[in-house]
């Protein structure tokens, strides 16, 4: 299925030779002389890399129909993560490599959106922030109130983040899923 570059919309998915891409932004340009063209910013679905690409006006590009399914993360099995479809209760195995950095923010029982293209999971859509429990960190020293001072903490998923000195093991913290940074105590 193809679509004209004149009909592009933000968020649309395209199946280009560079891979599966999402349109981040686009701009129709009509120079004084020469043909009109469409300047686009595309984000790779798997890697998150952004590239700029120019198409001729009315050029046909392959449209990718991506099915977004709400699934619950059940458990890890070897190098795969097992998810259950919340509608059909069907279980699927997704390789760690297909999930990318999202594995740092998922704990058993979490519900996530898995974009599926051609029966393959092509990433994970996470909430902007998640709450995770600190598995281990050095205890904070009483009276140590240096503003902005941080220490490393290992979370239940294995992710290491810098947290303020007053946060201790067993506490829940809010982490930004885009940057992997500590936001607040939960």
Q: Answer yes or no: same fold for 67-121 and 129-185.
A: yes
* Torsional sign, CA 78, 80, 81, 84: negative
Write down the CATH superfamily of domain 67-121: Nucleic acid-binding proteins (2.40.50.140)
Q: What is the pLDDT of residues 85-126, one digit of tens each?
A: 999 999 999 988 888 788 899 989 999 999 888 888 888 888
Domain ranges in the chain are 2-62, 67-121, 129-185
Q: Which residues pair with 77 in a beta bridge?
A: 80
Q: Which CATH architecture has domain 129-185?
A: Beta Barrel (2.40)
How much is the pLDDT for 61? 92
Is the domain covering 2-62 a CATH 3.20.20.370 domain?
Answer: no
| E-assigned strand segments in the chain | 2-4, 13-16, 19-29, 37-44, 50-56, 60-62, 67-77, 80-85, 91-95, 111-117, 120-121, 129-137, 150-155, 160-164, 172-176, 182-185
């Amino acid at each position: 299925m193809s679509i004209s570059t004149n009909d592009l919309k933000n968020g649309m998915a395209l199946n280009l030779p560079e891979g599966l891409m999402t349109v981040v932004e686009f701009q129709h340009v009509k120079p004084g002389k020469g043909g009109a063209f469409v300047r686009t910013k595309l984000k790779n679905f798997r890697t998150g890399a952004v590239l700029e690409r120019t198409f001729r006006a009315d050029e046909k590009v392959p449209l990718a129909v991506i099915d977004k399914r709400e699934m619950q993360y059940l458990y890890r099995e070897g190098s795969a993560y097992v998810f259950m479809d919340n509608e059909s209760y069907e279980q699927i195995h997704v390789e760690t490599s297909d999930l990318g950095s999202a594995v740092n923010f998922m704990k058993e029982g979490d519900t996530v959106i898995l974009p599926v293209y051609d029966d393959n999971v092509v990433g994970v859509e996470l909430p902007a922030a998640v709450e995770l429990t600190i598995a281990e960190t050095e205890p904070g020293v009483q009276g140590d109130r240096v503003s902005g001072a941080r220490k490393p903490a290992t979370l239940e998923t294995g992710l290491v983040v810098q947290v303020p000195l007053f946060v201790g093991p067993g506490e829940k913290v809010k982490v930004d899923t885009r940057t992997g940074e500590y936001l607040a105590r939960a």
